[in-house]
């Protein structure tokens, strides 16, 4: 995997090898793009949201005492609309600089999410992000910020290199014992999922057609928190109605609606107590 090291106060500069990696495999990692202090402040804000115990309709609706860890700690959808700090991270100039190099054009922010993924939580079966966003023409790009030490034990991300050059697949139904989302894209013949270990502050950038996902968090006591932004090039003409695009200066810019889109991951009903 190609990796770019980046000083905390520096401007990210993916090199030729990084850009080549992104072009050939569909992903690249920028290490230390955010500082540990920045990540800690971001996580503290989401922990406070959870500790308040009050749902925010359309964004965060936990069910305290639920059997399913993901019902007690559900993902936060579009947190940049309810948290100034999340908004600053989504529109951060360091992300913008990398994204504009990867896309070779101005970028727009389309969505943000925060995953708590507590111990025992299911993962998300292999899938493609643009199956949900339906960006036309082209695809989206994800910037996946690690907020904890992330590895296979606590359900780190897995990617299938090279699938970004393929069309969108018709998903199968996932196993609801290991995935909270219904859609599952098996790796094409000859290809396999590769784990991506990350440290807090690292950012994984990947193409919206890249097949990726995660296994359950099988650790006994470790969360796998992450903040994700989805972005599109300024040349995009349509996107799903669920996504509300912004310029990286924070101005709302409405794109015409594409068909067949939905939230990232169609969730199964919560599992019943055993």
In a domain, 272, yes or no: no
Looking at the chain, list the stretches that DSSP marks H as alpha helix, in order from N- to C-terminal side: 16-25, 36-52, 69-72, 84-90, 93-103, 130-133
pLDDT value of residue 271: 55
pLDDT value of residue 14: 74
118: its two tokens: 């507590």
CATH number at residue 68: 2.60.120.620
- pLDDT tens for the chain, 274 residues long, are 344 444 444 566 677 888 889 999 999 999 999 999 999 999 999 999 999 989 999 999 999 888 999 999 999 999 999 999 999 999 999 999 999 999 999 999 999 999 999 999 999 999 999 999 999 999 999 999 999 999 999 999 999 999 999 999 999 999 999 999 999 999 999 999 999 999 999 999 999 999 999 999 999 999 999 999 999 999 999 999 999 999 999 999 999 999 888 777 677 766 555 4
Residues of the domain holding 165: 3-247
pLDDT value of residue 11: 61
In a domain, 267, yes or no: no
Beta strands 183-184 and 140-146 are unpaired
pLDDT value of residue 8: 43
pLDDT value of residue 15: 77
In a domain, 238, yes or no: yes
Q: Exposure pattern of 162-186 as b/e (b: 16+ CB <10 Å)?
A: bbbebeebebeebebebbbbbbbbe
DSSP state of 105: S
In a domain, 265, yes or no: no
pLDDT value of residue 209: 98
CB of 6 closer than 8 Å to CB of 33: yes
Domain count, the chain: 1
pLDDT value of residue 13: 66
pLDDT value of residue 6: 46
How far, in Å, CA of 228 to CA of 77, rounded?
Answer: 10
Of all helices (H) and strands (E), which one includes residue 16?
Answer: helix 16-25
In a domain, 256, yes or no: no
In a domain, 239, yes or no: yes
In a domain, 101, yes or no: yes
How far, in Å, CA of 73 to CA of 51, rounded?
Answer: 10
In a domain, 157, yes or no: yes
Beta strands 27-31 and 172-173 are unpaired
CB atoms within 10 A of CB 137: 9
């Amino acid at each position: 995997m190609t990796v770019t090291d980046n000083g905390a106060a520096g401007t990210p500069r993916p090199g030729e090898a990084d850009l080549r990696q992104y072009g050939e495999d569909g992903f690249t990692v920028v290490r230390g793009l955010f500082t540990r202090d920045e990540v800690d402040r971001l996580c503290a804000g989401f922990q406070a949201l959870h500790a308040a115990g009050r749902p925010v309709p359309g964004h965060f609706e936990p069910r305290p005492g639920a059997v399913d860890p993901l019902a007690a700690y559900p993902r936060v959808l579009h947190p940049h609309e309810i948290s100034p700090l999340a908004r600053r991270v989504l529109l951060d100039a360091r992300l913008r600089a990398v994204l504009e190099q990867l896309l070779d054009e101005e970028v727009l922010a389309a969505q943000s999410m925060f995953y708590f993924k507590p111990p025992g939580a299911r993962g998300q079966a292999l899938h493609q992000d643009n199956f949900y966003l339906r960006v036309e023409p082209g695809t989206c790009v994800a910037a996946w910020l690690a907020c904890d030490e992330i590895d296979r034990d606590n359900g780190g991300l897995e990617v299938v290199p090279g699938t970004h050059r393929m069309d969108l697949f018709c998903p199968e139904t996932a196993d609801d014992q290991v995935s909270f989302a219904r859609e599952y894209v098996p790796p094409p013949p000859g290809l396999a999922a590769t784990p991506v270990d990350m440290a807090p502050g690292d950012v994984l950038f990947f193409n919206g057609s890249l097949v990726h996902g995660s296994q359950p968090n099988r650790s006994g006591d470790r969360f796998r928190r992450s903040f994700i932004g989805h972005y599109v090039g300024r040349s995009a003409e349509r996107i799903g109605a669920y996504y509300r695009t912004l310029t990286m200066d924070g101005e709302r810019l409405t794109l015409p609606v594409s068909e067949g889109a939905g939230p990232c991951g169609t969730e199964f009903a919560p599992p019943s107590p055993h």
